[in-house]
Amino acid sequence: MSRGERPNPESFPKPRIAVVLKGYPRLSETFIAQEILSLETDGADITIVSLRHPTDGKTHPVHDKIKAPVLYLPEYLYQELPRVLRGWWRSRKQLGYQAARRAWWADLKRDPTPNRIRRWGQALVLAAELDPAISTLYAHFLHTPGSVARYAAGITRRPWAVSAHAKDIWLTPEWEKREKLADCAWAVTCTAYGHAHLESLGPGKTTLSYHGLDLAALPSPPATRPPRRGESKDNAIHLVSVGRAVPKKGFDGLLHALASLPTALHWTWTHIGGGGELAKLKRQAEALDISEKITWKGARAQAEVFEAYREADLFVLPSRIAEDGDRDGLPNVLMEAASQGLCCLASDVAGVSELLTHGETGWLTPADDPEALASAITTLAGDPDQRLRLGAAGLDRVTRCFDHAAGLSIIRERLGIPVTPVNDAFNAADLDAAQ
């Protein structure tokens, strides 16, 4: 069986899994939807448990392919109080209730917030309404989904597992991460950067599993790209960024960098993504007198995002570590842009260097350095041959090391789905190289 080839789903009993998510479906979490679809294809019987109702107006094509039913828990307990009370009445009779309640109470004393109470109420409903045939709870994200999965698993005496990513690693208190890692059956994370941190808190519990891309489902990269240099409006350099307007993405710094570009360099920038700071960024662009060169597209479906990659000359992601400690892991959008042979310019922060090597597979600048960012944009804008070379090398890197089938092999194995030995070997070698 070759790398990435799936087992015959008829050759083994279907594992019954509840996948606990903060919200479903979400445009910003395509990698989770792709994992769910792949596990379904491999034969797993999945129920999606969502702590929130969807807020995005659009979905990606992958969401339409997923057959799993969705159980929406009460988003706000007071809005579904009878359901919460029924959940408590039924859960309190289960063998693990008292131990789970003690664990929650210990957490509440250290984190006396309404959110902590909400997590317990949602766990009571989940424990009461969970199909008895479900054997494992598997949470995406270590913070809120991990708490709900942990409490519900404790009540029902089921094993639970967690996939940790970025914000959930860096904004969850250390005491909570230690206890969750000690309590869960297993954990995975999608960067060597995050793996090293979690390994220091719970040795031997976490495995590196790059989530990667389903390359077979993506469009092929463009055969050619125009050799634009930005010397005129008709030959302007097209920059594109994809990401939510939140502090850790660093788009405010990018605006300052764009405003400082040489006047002789003609450019346009397209931003794709929602986020709470979008209005603030637009006001900043107006104050810097660069609004006429910027297109704000908001959240877009996957096909539109890939169209933007294919039309651009340079992808820019100026991530930073935010004041509260929040940061990226290895953003999926970087892998997506690289899959289209698009030259990527990004901050050297968190796990970005696990994909991009400066001057080889992409271009890296220090985080929070608009001057360095402007210099990099100017350099790459004037050198289309270098953009093509870096784009081709980035594409090769993604193709060789970030096909999602490789990372998925670890998830399959942990969930009891047969996995090919070659996939395991690939991930072990990749972890050694990343460290």
CATH number, domain 216-401, options 3.10.450.50, 3.40.50.2000, 3.40.640.10, 3.40.50.720? 3.40.50.2000
Residue 112 burial (CB count, 10 A): 9
- 214 near 61, Cβ under 8 Å? no
Q: CA 71 to CA 19: how far, in whole Å?
A: 10
Task: Tell whether the model's pLDDT for residue 306 goes beyond 60.
Answer: yes
- 19 near 47, Cβ under 8 Å? yes
Task: Tell whether the model's pLDDT for residue 92 goes beyond 90.
Answer: yes
- Between 419 and 309, the higher pLDDT residue: 309
What pLDDT is stored for residue 2 in this prediction?
Answer: 39
The CATH number of domain 9-212+403-434 is 3.30.1330.10: no
Same fold across 9-212+403-434 and 216-401: yes
Tell me the one-letter amino acid at 93: K
- 326 near 170, Cβ under 8 Å? yes
Mean pLDDT over each residue of the chain, to the nearest integer: 91
In the chain, what percentage of residues exceed pLDDT 90? Answer: 79
Tell me the pLDDT tens digit for each residue of 155-187: 999 999 999 998 899 999 999 999 999 999 999
Tell me the pLDDT tens digit for each residue of 322-356: 999 999 889 999 999 999 999 999 999 999 999 99
What pLDDT is stored for residue 13 in this prediction?
Answer: 66
User: 201 CB contacts (<8 Å, ≥6 apart)?
Assistant: 174, 177, 178, 181
Helix axes 144-156, 97-110, angle to 10 degrees: 150
Task: Tell whether the model's pLDDT for residue 134 goes beyond 70.
Answer: yes
Task: Tell whether the model's pLDDT for residue 76 goes beyond 90.
Answer: yes
What pLDDT is stored for residue 419 in this prediction?
Answer: 55
Tell me the one-letter amino acid at 68: A
Residue extents of the structural domains in the chain: 9-212+403-434, 216-401
Q: Name the residue among 356, 330, 365, 354 with its Cα closest to residue 435.
A: 354
Helix axes 278-287, 251-259, angle to 10 degrees: 10
Q: CA 134 to CA 130: how far, in whole Å?
A: 7
What pLDDT is stored for residue 29 in this prediction?
Answer: 82
E-strand stretches of 141-242:
160-164, 186-189, 206-208, 237-242
What pLDDT is stored for residue 26 in this prediction?
Answer: 86
Residue with tokens 């792949």: 38
In the chain, what percentage of residues exceed pLDDT 70? Answer: 93
Residue with tokens 């408590």: 88
The H or E element spanning position 152 is helix 144-156
Q: Which long-range contacts (CB under 8 A, 24 or more apart) does 292-298 make?
A: 293/258, 293/267, 293/268, 293/269, 294/258, 294/268, 294/269, 294/270, 295/268, 295/269, 295/270, 295/271, 296/271, 297/270, 297/271, 297/272, 298/272, 298/273, 298/274
What pLDDT is stored for residue 43 in this prediction?
Answer: 87
pTM: 0.82
What pLDDT is stored for residue 59 in this prediction?
Answer: 76
- 318 near 252, Cβ under 8 Å? no
E-strand stretches of 184-258:
186-189, 206-208, 237-242
Lowest mean pLDDT among 7-16, 233-242, 349-358, 376-385: 7-16
DSSP annotation string for 14-81: PPEEEEEESSSS-GGGHHHHHHHHHHHHTT-EEEEEESS----S---HHHHH----EEEPPSSGGGGH
Q: Name the residue among 227, 212, 177 with its Cα closest to residue 35.
A: 212
